[in-house]
């Protein structure tokens, strides 16, 4: 019975692999885990390139007078460097979601297949707890990457090479050392061992985080509370000791490291 239940996870990941990789003969030579890793790598690459390219074209070429009246925008050279750094990180970084899927398929987590198994009220509660654990873990791993100087120097400094408004772009979302990226994303995978979580919701939240990574590096204050948008994250890059959160600003509010973009505007005035 348990084996039949776990097989449902495998069928789901196989169907996603079919969509992204296609139905080609060469896939038969690859183990299921390798196919899942390759699908995650391709998906992450598309999440890096497509939303970022569209958004950069809009804000830097169509609406620069609206979003950057001061003219402080990243150059093409900087953005290409961010793409290069990202592409070096993604092969190793995308092992994490592939490993997460593997342990789910083996029944090592509390993940479930259908929302109906727990009901919508419990699903919402579990997702909220899952996000809280993921945010708490990301906040503290990110903060420690700054506070522990050897960690910063060895891993996190790669991402903070881009620390001025005219060197931060949506392409910087994945421009990190792969170990740094894995450490900060690991709490979201580890939460699966603690909280029952809907499999598809877990996967969609990973995709959402990829899209938010682009948004968080556009330097635009969208004022969508409590999302950790570009206005907040720009301050993290320029001031370093504030706004460590991932999805939201709530952990920064709880632990006293929140710096509002409005405070920056008041100082300028």
Would you say the C-alpha torsion 101, 104, 105, 106 has a positive or negative sign? Answer: positive
In this predicted structure, the answer to whether residue 200 has a pLDDT above a threshold of 50 is: yes
pLDDT digits (tens, 9 = 90+) for 183-192: 999 999 999 9
CA-nearest of 180, 162, 144, 181 to 234 is: 162
Would you say the C-alpha torsion 88, 236, 189, 17 has a positive or negative sign? Answer: negative
In this predicted structure, the answer to whether residue 252 has a pLDDT above a threshold of 70 is: yes
Could you give the CA distance from residue 117 to residue 113 in angstroms, rounded to a whole number?
8
Would you say the C-alpha torsion 48, 249, 134, 196 has a positive or negative sign? Answer: negative
In this predicted structure, the answer to whether residue 12 has a pLDDT above a threshold of 60 is: yes
Q: Domain ranges in the chain? A: 2-217
Q: Where are the alpha helices (DSSP H) in 148-191?
A: 149-154, 178-190
- Residue 208 DSSP SS3: helix
pLDDT of 265: 56
Name the burial class of residue 53, with classes exposed (0-12), middle (13-18) and buried (19+) by CB atoms within 10 angstroms of its CB: middle
Could you give the CA distance from residue 204 to residue 207 in angstroms, rounded to a whole number?
5
User: In the Cβ-directed half-sphere of 14, how many Cα atoms lie within 13 Å?
Assistant: 12
CA 98 centroid distance within chain: 15
Q: What percent of the chain has pLDDT over 70?
A: 97
**Poorest-pLDDT segment among 14-23, 103-112, 211-220, 260-269:** 260-269
Could you give the CA distance from residue 256 to residue 259 in angstroms, rounded to a whole number?
9
Both tokens of residue 26?
A: 């060469």
Could you give the CA distance from residue 180 to residue 116 in angstroms, rounded to a whole number?
36
Both tokens of residue 257?
A: 């490291």
Nearby residues of 25 by Cβ (< 8 Å), 6 or more positions away = none
pLDDT of 269: 45
pLDDT digits (tens, 9 = 90+) for 66-99: 999 988 999 999 999 999 999 999 999 999 999 9
Q: How confident is the model at residue 214 (pLDDT cuts 50, 70, 90)?
A: confident
pLDDT digits (tens, 9 = 90+) for 132-179: 999 999 999 999 999 999 999 999 999 999 988 889 999 999 999 999
Global pTM reads 0.92
Give the Cβ contact number of residue 20 at 10 Å. Answer: 15
Q: What is the largest CA-CA distance in the chain?
A: 66
198 φ, ψ to 5°?
A: -70, 130
Extract long-range pairs of 63-71: CB within 8 Å, 24+ residues apart.
67/220, 68/219
In this predicted structure, the answer to whether residue 212 has a pLDDT above a threshold of 70 is: yes
């Amino acid at each position: 019975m348990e084996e039949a239940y776990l097989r449902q996870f495998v069928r789901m990941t196989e169907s996603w692999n079919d969509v992204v990789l296609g139905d080609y003969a060469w896939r038969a030579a690859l183990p299921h885990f390798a196919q899942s890793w390759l699908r995650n790598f391709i998906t992450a690459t598309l999440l890096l390139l497509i939303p970022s390219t569209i958004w950069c074209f809009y804000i830097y070429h169509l609406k620069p007078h609206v979003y950057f009246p001061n003219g402080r925008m990243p150059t093409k050279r900087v953005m290409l460097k961010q793409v290069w750094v990202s592409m070096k990180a993604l092969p190793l970084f995308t092992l994490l979601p592939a490993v997460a899927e593997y342990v789910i398929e083996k029944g090592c987590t509390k993940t479930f297949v259908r929302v109906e198994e727990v009901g919508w009220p419990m699903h919402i509660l579990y997702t909220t707890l899952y996000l809280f654990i993921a945010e708490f873990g990301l906040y503290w791993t990110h903060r420690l990457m700054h506070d522990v100087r050897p960690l910063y120097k060895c891993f996190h400094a790669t991402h903070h090479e881009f620390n001025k408004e005219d060197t931060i772009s949506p392409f910087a979302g994945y421009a990190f050392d792969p170990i740094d990226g894995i450490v900060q994303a690991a709490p979201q995978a580890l939460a699966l061992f603690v909280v029952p979580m809907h499999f598809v919701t877990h996967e969609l939240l990973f995709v959402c985080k990829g899209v938010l990574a682009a948004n968080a590096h556009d330097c635009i204050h969208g004022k969508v509370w409590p999302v950790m948008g570009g206005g907040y994250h720009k301050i993290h890059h320029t001031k370093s000791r504030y706004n460590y959160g991932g999805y939201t600003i709530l952990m920064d509010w709880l632990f006293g490291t929140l710096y509002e973009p409005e405070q920056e505007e008041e100082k300028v005035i």
